[in-house]
Structure 1
Amino acid sequence: MADSNFIDYVKFCSRSGAGGAGSAHFRREKHVPKGGPDGGDGGRGGHIILRGNAQLWTLLHLKYKKHVIAQNGKGGEGGRRKGKDGEDIILEVPLGTVAKDAETKEVRFEITEDGQEIILTKGGMGGLGNDHFKTSTNQAPRYAQPGEEGIEEWIILELKLLADVGLVGFPNAGKSTLLSSISAAKPEIGDYPFTTLVPNLGVVSYRDDRSFVMADIPGIIEGAAEGKGLGLRFLRHIERNSILLFLVPADADSIKEQYEILLKELKEYNPELLDKNRILAISKADMLDEELMEEMKGDLPKGVPHIFISSVSQYNLDKLKDLVYNAIIS
């Protein structure tokens, strides 16, 4: 997992630039021996800015940035010349990136649109030059304002995948196989738990050149909301999905029981997840006949649309796409 290109969590020190000091300068020219104050303002310190980039899907490029430091503003000069602003630092991030205060865990904002820019750490204001402090009773102020200090803070960036459909299921439920069967995604597939160690996204082609995005979330186990297994690390990716597609294999001891355990983990992590539309797909249905399917329907949870599918034999995959797409647009 350490070698994975998918990084959805980074922590770094963000330090904005200090503002430049204002100038306490006086106009001095030939024939003007006692010119008035003409000190310019200091330049603003550089901001740290996050910008959304729809072409990015990971925070890998920020993994080794432990300190991000913007430039200080320059001091003002005579002739009311303003100091140069410190150069901003722009960090490009994938859509769905959430910025948090590392100490309080308070969510600052979320980047959701391509090209969206939000200031993460604001640069210090430049100080005012002595020209601003001239009054009728003090026409030669010999002081100017210092620039504001920059801000230094620890920031956490978390990525929550933006997808239409999130695949929810225990390890080995067949999520990766399904995603590879109905999209161009090529996730690792194996007959052992936690084959999927990072979320995978796939674009599923639908009728009339329409499509939707499906995310294969690493397998949940009982106790995931408490941090067991892959735990909280990937549960947050489900928050951004419009539809939750629960996948339970046909050879499970109790399909209803597995579904309810998965539902319980999502509820404990975030009760709002239960407000999303849910579909239940029973995978590995190529081992069943029609009579057995009818018999198994009595063990299915009530009130949840269900469908028997097989990724290997392609059984009912087109009907599954219809079911999912109609749920997305409804």
Structure 2
Amino acid sequence: MASSNFIDYVKINCRSGAGGAGSVHFRREKHVPKGGPDGGDGGRGGHIILKGNAQLWTLLHLKYRKHVKAENGTAGEGGRRSGQQGEDVFLEVPLGTIARDPDTGEKLAEITEEGQELILLPGGRGGLGNDHFKSATQQAPHYAQPGEAGQEAWVVLELKLLADVGLVGFPNAGKSTLLSAVSAARPEIADYPFTTLVPNLGVVAYRDFKSFVMADIPGIIEGASQGKGLGLRFLRHIERNSILLFLVPATSDNIRQEYNTLLDELHAYNPELMDKKRLLAITKIDLLENEEALALLKEDLPKKVPVTFISSVSQRGLTELKDLIWQNLTTTAEAT
């Protein structure tokens, strides 16, 4: 998918509908010479509502929709007839979308489930008709409430992809190749850095019809947390992954150092990422000369992190990798 089609940040001006005015009306019937008040209530203004849609994975459809306006409610009528409610506006967004105040950064809403609906800006309430204000001392009120004004605000929608497993690694670590080998996703694959310009999602089939979602995040480089390369822009997507799968090529000059550098970048961006479950896959083992080279490589690996060895090209170790991921996903779910 072209990078121009992946949009994870939009700013929209939203305005909910105003409520309709209450009616001032009195009964006019042939045999009721002194008919009392019967003014109806105004209709509620339309809401601006966020709605989760699991079929979406980008905010592209909202990129050019800069202004969103809901309908106003209509005024009440005689005979205690209420005004019509203004039509709500639904903004369908991918799961993992957060709405924020652009000035303060305050989180206004968060969508995480299919079909979930959250009112972003409520419509104004309709005014009460004069029927509500009659009393023993005020039998013919000549007033009703005006409708409540709608709300208007600029809102930032920010997408953080929801995935079970997020792939973390430097450019050319083999993330895209792995995703294409274990799922139906077809990210661009080439032998130059930054082939992946946008995150890619793939559903990985597992045993007994189980599955999990894997996200290929564009390659991090040293200094990404300070804005270098592409990493900073997409690091937010790693925040929503249950497990972080670090990928380091077997051909790396220093696997332990490369892994620690990746950890440092994530920590600099958001220290809370250090609380996530981590796995390490040594990729491209098909490029090693022999089994002795693999055995030698195993002697100097990072401690305190489960390690597995794979080749996406030859499919070696992929079943073991999926077993390891599923085992950790299960224990993570149980812990929460």
TM-score band, normalised by the shorter chain?
over 0.9
1:30, distance to aligned residue in structure 2 (A): 2.2
Q: Structure 1 residue 267 and structure 2 residue 261: aligned? A: no
1:297, distance to aligned residue in structure 2 (A): 2.7
Kindly provide the CA deviation profile for residues 12-66 of structure 1, in whole angstroms up to 9, marking residues without a partner as x.
0010000001111122222333321111111000001111111222211111110
What is the one-letter code of the residue matched to 2:304? Answer: G
1:203, distance to aligned residue in structure 2 (A): 1.4
Name the residue aligned to 2:301: 300
What is the one-letter code of the residue matched to 1:238? Answer: I
What is the one-letter code of the residue matched to 1:227? Answer: G
Other structure's SS at 1:322 match: helix
What is the one-letter code of the residue matched to 2:255? Answer: I
Checking the alignment, whether the CA contact within 8 Å between 1:25 and 1:38 is kept in structure 2 is yes
Distance 1:91 1:190 in 2: 37
Other structure's SS at 1:304 match: coil
Name the residue aligned to 2:141: 141
Distance 2:24 2:255 in 1: 78
Name the residue aligned to 1:27: 27
Where does 1:158-237 land on structure 2 (aligned, <5 Å)?
158-237=158-237
Q: Which moved more, 1:310-319 or 1:84-93?
A: 310-319
Where does 1:60-79 land on structure 2 (aligned, <5 Å)?
60-79=60-79
Q: Which moved more, 1:147-156 or 1:29-38?
A: 29-38
Other structure's SS at 2:298 match: helix
Name the residue aligned to 2:248: 248
Distance 1:229 1:86 in 2: 47
TM-score, reference length from structure 2: 0.94
1:126, distance to aligned residue in structure 2 (A): 0.5
Distance 1:137 1:2 in 2: 72
Other structure's SS at 1:298 match: coil
Kindly provide the CA deviation profile for residues 205-250 of structure 1, in whole angstroms up to 9, marking residues without a partner as x.
2222222211101111122223322243211111121111000112
Kindly provide the CA deviation profile for residues 174-208 of structure 1, in whole angstroms up to 9, marking residues without a partner as x.
10011111111110011112111111111112222
Distance 1:107 1:143 in 2: 40
Kindly provide the CA deviation profile for residues 151-190 of structure 1, in whole angstroms up to 9, marking residues without a partner as x.
0001111111111111000111110011111111110011
Checking the alignment, whether the CA contact within 8 Å between 1:103 and 1:154 is kept in structure 2 is no
Q: Which moved more, 1:2-11 or 1:215-224?
A: 2-11
CA-atom RMSD, angstroms?
Answer: 1.5
Distance 1:223 1:3 in 2: 22
Checking the alignment, whether the CA contact within 8 Å between 1:51 and 1:117 is kept in structure 2 is yes
Other structure's SS at 2:264 match: helix
Name the residue aligned to 1:290: 291
1:3, distance to aligned residue in structure 2 (A): 5.6
Q: Which moved more, 1:300-309 or 1:119-128?
A: 300-309
Name the residue aligned to 1:311: 312
Other structure's SS at 1:170 match: coil
Q: Which moved more, 1:286-295 or 1:139-148?
A: 286-295
Other structure's SS at 1:49 match: strand
Checking the alignment, whether the CA contact within 8 Å between 1:21 and 1:74 is kept in structure 2 is yes
The percent identity for this pair of structures is 74
Name the residue aligned to 1:110: 110
Q: CA 1:5/1:90 → structure 2, altered by over 3 Å: closer, same or farther? A: same
1:68, distance to aligned residue in structure 2 (A): 0.5
TM-score, reference length from structure 1: 0.96
Name the residue aligned to 2:93: 93
Distance 1:92 1:175 in 2: 30
Distance 1:25 1:226 in 2: 66
Distance 2:183 2:241 in 1: 17
Q: CA 1:299/1:3 → structure 2, altered by over 3 Å: closer, same or farther? A: closer
Unaligned runs of 5+ in 2: 332-336
1:2, distance to aligned residue in structure 2 (A): 7.7
What is the one-letter code of the residue matched to 1:214? Answer: M
What is the one-letter code of the residue matched to 1:313? Answer: S
Other structure's SS at 2:294 match: helix
Aligned length: 330
Unaligned runs of 5+ in 1: none
Distance 2:17 2:229 in 1: 42
Q: Which moved more, 1:1-10 or 1:80-89?
A: 1-10
Q: CA 1:2/1:136 → structure 2, altered by over 3 Å: closer, same or farther? A: farther
